[in-house]
Structure 1
Amino acid sequence: MKPYVILNAAMTLDGKIATKTGSSNISGEKDLKRVHELRREVDGIMVGINTVIADNPRLTVHKIDANPEDNPVRVVVDSKCRTPIAARITNKDAKTIIAGANDYKLEFIVSDRYANFTKRGIDFFFSGDKRVDLKDLMNYLYESGIKTLMLEGGSTLNFSMIKEGLIDEIRICVAPFVVGGKDSHTLFDGEGFDTMDEGVRLELFDSFKLGDDLILQYKVLNK
């Protein structure tokens, strides 16, 4: 069993979610509120370690009126256990789970960083060898009571999740500008598929304008 996974992201018209320098302020104010409303509805929210290092997000509900209990469980996919001690995702605003890979477990659990994190109530889950086994992680999250999970990328984790057939729905905010750049991050990076026939098929089930942005909502078909 696994949670129902909703990938949510904002991208430019040319498919970029961040420039080569890491700039990613894409969404308009109305879309930011939509995102936080979705955060309030789900049980958990997941990002990769690169997003934590680049953006230092809180991953809480704070753009709309909310109570502390509205905050979803925060999940970081961090194979090498690189989450910074000062990362905002490790504060006490919400529960946090860090998922690491087994090859890095022993060195990490004897470190001062591990002791510091556990004192703050942060939970850890280890699976896979050099990379977190995402299917195992999804099963663990489901058994932990996370039945709906919001995936907020970045691009490498997005591709790993969709390649494993773990994404059920994609909600995209398309902003009306382009940034270009061969080194800018797209919605899905990673190793990619070799042929178009291998690509994951989607079905559009809703679309609407939100301020200057366009919201597209898709079901993932061939999981």
Structure 2
Amino acid sequence: MIKKQNSFKCDDMRPYVILNAAMTLDGKIATKTGSSEISGEEDLKRVHELRRDVDGIMVGINTVIADDPRLTVHKIPSKKQDNPIRVVVDNKARTPLNSRILSDDAETIIAITENSNEEDFKERHQKLEKVATIFLSGKKQINLKDLMEYLYIKGIKILMLEGGSTLNFSMIKEGLIDELRICIAPMVVGGHNSKTLFDGEGFDFMNEAINLDLIKNYRLGKDLILEYKVKK
């Protein structure tokens, strides 16, 4: 079932991508130990309302391994058909077979590379094929533009991106994010090894930065919600 609304439009043959995340005031999405309980109850409901309204939801493999998320709609009243298609960017087919993301609550697509030098890569690939839809692309890293085109053809017109930080940067660097919805919690955690909203290689100069337009901001319980459009 396609849940796309007419207000979300993308000129390319790819989904309209909304990056949604919660972070502390100092820009951290997790502590150095991986703790990521940031959002208040009101924001969690907002997130699940967004999940209900999109066609797909995408995360990276590190998020799957660290958090074992369900990526379903469960913080608000919902039905199984409200769950979006789940997408995992997993270069080396490392998704654990007991992951909650592989439940029968919704279809799961795992994007992996076409080959790997790791000895048991082929075996992991074959096992995942039995429990998920596999998308093959790229030699060492997933071609994200090809993945977006595939998801669009699959009927995913609105895609919710929930990171993590490396995938977030790769997506925005490739010009594949249209909108950001960020919950800023009134807390500070610090830490050199704490994950930020965007990691990856980063840009060298400020004039290379991705520019945003603030389109909406509001209080939600103890948190501040900021919504931005990405300038193209």
Q: CA deviation at 1:103?
A: 2.1
Question: What is the aligned partner in structure 2 of residue 117 from structure 1?
Answer: 128
C-alpha distance after superposition, 1:3-42 (max 9, x if no partner): 0000000000000000111000000000000000000000
Bigger fraction of residues in helix = 1
With normalisation by structure 1, the TM-score equals 0.95
Q: CA deviation at 1:203?
A: 0.2
C-alpha distance after superposition, 1:89-143 (max 9, x if no partner): 01111100000011239977852x44443333x1000111100000000000001
Is the 2:92–2:121 contact (alpha carbons within 8 Å) kept by the matching residues of 1? no
Is the 1:5–1:148 contact (alpha carbons within 8 Å) kept by the matching residues of 2? yes
Is the 1:99–1:132 contact (alpha carbons within 8 Å) kept by the matching residues of 2? yes
Question: Which runs of 5 or more structure 2 residues have no equivalent in the other structure?
Answer: 1-12
Alignment of 1:97-116 (within 5 A): 97-104=109-116, 110-111=122-123, 113-116=124-127
Question: What is the aligned partner in structure 2 of residue 206 from structure 1?
Answer: 216
C-alpha distance after superposition, 1:148-177 (max 9, x if no partner): 000000000000000000000000000001
Distance in 1 (alpha carbons) for counterparts of 2:91 and 2:80: 29
Question: What is the aligned partner in structure 2 of residue 160 from structure 1?
Answer: 170
Question: What is the aligned partner in structure 1 of residue 3 from structure 2?
Answer: none
Distance in 1 (alpha carbons) for counterparts of 2:147 and 2:175: 13
Closer/same/farther in 2, CA of residues 80 and 109 from structure 1, 3 Å limit: closer
Percent identity over the alignment is 68
SS in 2 for 1:158: helix
SS in 2 for 1:84: coil
- 2:214 aligned partner, one-letter code: L
Closer/same/farther in 2, CA of residues 169 and 99 from structure 1, 3 Å limit: same
- 2:156 aligned partner, one-letter code: I
| Residue in structure 2 matching 1:71, options 72, 79, 83 | 83
* Paired residues, number: 220
Q: In the alignment, is residue 54 of structure 1 matched against residue 94 of structure 2?
A: no
With normalisation by structure 2, the TM-score equals 0.92
Q: CA deviation at 1:210?
A: 0.2
Question: What is the aligned partner in structure 1 of residue 187 from structure 2?
Answer: 177
Question: Which runs of 5 or more structure 1 residues have no equivalent in the other structure?
Answer: none
Question: What is the aligned partner in structure 1 of residue 41 from structure 2?
Answer: 29
Distance in 2 (alpha carbons) for counterparts of 1:126 and 1:107: 18
Closer/same/farther in 2, CA of residues 32 and 127 from structure 1, 3 Å limit: same
Q: CA deviation at 1:201?
A: 0.2
Distance in 2 (alpha carbons) for counterparts of 1:34 and 1:199: 28
Distance in 2 (alpha carbons) for counterparts of 1:2 and 1:127: 16
Closer/same/farther in 2, CA of residues 109 and 18 from structure 1, 3 Å limit: closer
| Residue in structure 1 matching 2:98, options 78, 86, 89 | 86
| Residue in structure 1 matching 2:141, options 131, 151, 165 | 131
